Amino acid sequence: MNILVLGSGGREHALSWKLKQSPLCKNVYIAPGNAGTSTIGINVQLNVNDFDGIAAFALDHHIQMIVVGPEDPLVRGISDYFQNRADLMHIALIGPTKAGAKLEGSKDFSKQFMTRHGIPTARSKTFTKRTIEEGLNYVSSHPLPIVLKADGLAAGKGVIIAEDQETARQTLKEMLLDEKFGAASQQVVIEQFLSGIEVSVFVLTDGKHYKMLPSAKDYKRIGEGDTGLNTGGMGAVTPVPFADATFMEKVEKQIVEPTIEGLSNEKINYKGFLFIGLMNVEGNPFVIEYNVRMGDPETQVVMPAIESDLLPLLNACATGRLNEQDLVLAKGFHATVVMVSGGYPGSYEKGHVIEGLKNVEEGLVFHAGTDGDEQITTNGGRVLAITGQNTLLEKALSQAYESVAKIHWQGANFRKDIGQDLLKWMSQHQK
């Protein structure tokens, strides 16, 4: 099979790495890809939102499957575009239609969806410019902290957790009146703060059946001990010790099953990955958000943690026969450490030469913001994700960190405490 993967991050490197291992896979193309994906397949200079260009390329190169990495093309309707054109409908497109992608594209839609289907989530109310007075009053009577969310896609920046009411009122005004996040904040969801530990749950669905992929813990803040600014993700670990069998059973029964049933009952065509960001509140799961794609850097641990060939699973996803496939998971732990450019998530420099990649002997090196072939240079905020594997979490982490220590560029930064909270949790709970 010829496969086209859309995107350019560590997630897409990990997806193409996994797909290329399939005996059924002939060529993998990655658009636009990075220096790492060019070692797996062929990078194609196409923008992920250029549907006409993607279609022309797919026809020219006999592409049979397109795996969509990021949410943007899905929210803009790439799946509908391919379904609606007679010459493209034979191509299996892994990703939901525009209607399904609203689960990520509109927080108000996803909240209403969860309410309709009795899915546990934080209590919330949505306001617009027209109802701002009501919103300001709502804030005044709301317990602290208060969570304010821009309705639309805001590149991961649209969530503000206000510790006091003045900040919450000010933020609400900035979002609605000044359109702080552009059109994304024309509606604002005001939500109850949930206190607990977060876990990223991944599901593959054909719209009717589903498979639970490995769950992961993501480390979102730039600084050790979960301090400092939010980032795209600085590391990840799978499996997550506190998301045990009892908790995951609740996740399936209370969240995954009603979500898939809800989509099916509402005639929303959803074939692809579903990423459910959950809060574990004293052993009970609550949905923080839906994403209609895989997570980054979670994919860099989830893909290596899948033992089965991914390609037949994705094929079955496209044809509605996911129930006929088995999913076998690898044993042990996978941990990834993300190396970022100095200054990220603020401003940073690009174009620094990355040294030492050839000295890495163990672990998997997934590229994100990289460029070049012989000489590889930095080309983004998140640059590499180094994944280690072992039956013991300590050893999976030390494998990743030993490889990180061999790689250098000017200003390189990474978190030194990935997985430490989980080691501590295990020493307290698994005696």
Binding site for ligand AMP (CB under 6 A): 122, 147, 159, 191, 193-194, 198, 277, 288-289
Tell me which residue of 39, 49, 103, 45 sits closest to 73, measured CA to CA. Answer: 49
**3-state class of 295 per DSSP?**
coil
Choose among ligand GLY, ligand AMP, none what residue 288 binds, the Cβ cut-off being 5 to 8 Å by kind: ligand AMP
Name the β-bridge partners of 337: 235, 386
Are residues 271 and 215 in contact, defined by beta-carbon separation less than 8 angstroms? no
Q: How far apart are CA 426 and CA 241, in angstroms?
A: 7
Q: Residue 290 Cβ, how far from ligand GLY at the closest point, in Å?
A: 11
Pairing of strands 65-68, 92-94: parallel
The tokens of 55 are what?
């279609």
Closer residue to ligand GLY (CB): 191 or 309: 191
Question: Which of 97, 171, 259, 291 touches ligand GLY (CB under 6 A)?
Answer: 291
Q: Residue 396 Cβ, how far from ligand AMP at the closest point, in Å?
A: 23
**3-state class of 296 per DSSP?**
coil
Are residues 29 and 20 in contact, defined by beta-carbon separation less than 8 angstroms? no
Q: How far apart are CA 300 and CA 368, in angstroms?
A: 11
Choose among ligand AMP, ligand GLY, none what residue 122 binds, the Cβ cut-off being 5 to 8 Å by kind: ligand AMP
Closer residue to ligand AMP (CB): 282 or 326: 282
Look up residue 375 and give its DSSP letter: S
Q: Residue 157 Cβ, how far from ligand GLY at the closest point, in Å?
A: 12
Choose among ligand GLY, ligand AMP, none what residue 233 binds, the Cβ cut-off being 5 to 8 Å by kind: ligand GLY
Closer residue to ligand GLY (CB): 37 or 291: 291
Question: Which of 218, 262, 345, 368 touches ligand GLY (CB under 6 A)?
Answer: 218
Q: Residue 279 Cβ, how far from ligand AMP at the closest point, in Å?
A: 6
Question: Which of 91, 296, 380, 401 touches ligand GLY (CB under 6 A)?
Answer: 296
Q: How far apart are CA 278 and CA 280, in angstroms?
A: 6
Q: Residue 159 Cβ, how far from ligand GLY at the closest point, in Å?
A: 11
Choose among ligand AMP, ligand GLY, none what residue 247 binds, the Cβ cut-off being 5 to 8 Å by kind: none
Q: How far apart are CA 337 and CA 235, in angstroms?
A: 5
Closer residue to ligand GLY (CB): 135 or 214: 214
Q: Residue 47 Cβ, how far from ligand GLY at the closest point, in Å?
A: 20
Q: Residue 277 Cβ, how far from ligand AMP at the closest point, in Å?
A: 5
The tokens of 375 are what?
């000489």
The alpha helices in 206-256, defined as continuous H runs, are 245-251
Q: Residue 216 Cβ, how far from ligand GLY at the closest point, in Å?
A: 9
The alpha helices in 194-325, defined as continuous H runs, are 245-251, 257-265, 299-302, 310-319
Q: Which amino acid is at 248?
A: M
Closer residue to ligand GLY (CB): 191 or 296: 296
Q: Residue 370 Cβ, how far from ligand GLY at the closest point, in Å?
A: 19
Closer residue to ligand AMP (CB): 81 or 286: 286
Q: How far apart are CA 161 and CA 149, in angstroms?
A: 9
The tokens of 155 are what?
């590149």
Choose among ligand GLY, ligand AMP, none what residue 295 binds, the Cβ cut-off being 5 to 8 Å by kind: ligand GLY
Q: Which span sits near ligand GLY by CB under 6 A: 124-132, 201-209, 238-246, 292-300? A: 292-300
Query: Is the omega angle on the peptide bond into residue 32 within 30 degrees of 0, that is, cis?
Result: yes
Burial class (CB in 10 A: 0-12, 13-18, 19+), 260: buried
Contacts of 37 (CB under 8 A, 6+ apart): 5, 8, 12, 13, 16, 30, 43, 367
Question: Which of 70, 73, 233, 369 touches ligand GLY (CB under 6 A)?
Answer: 233
Positions touching ligand GLY (CB under 6 A) are 218, 233, 291, 295-296, 298
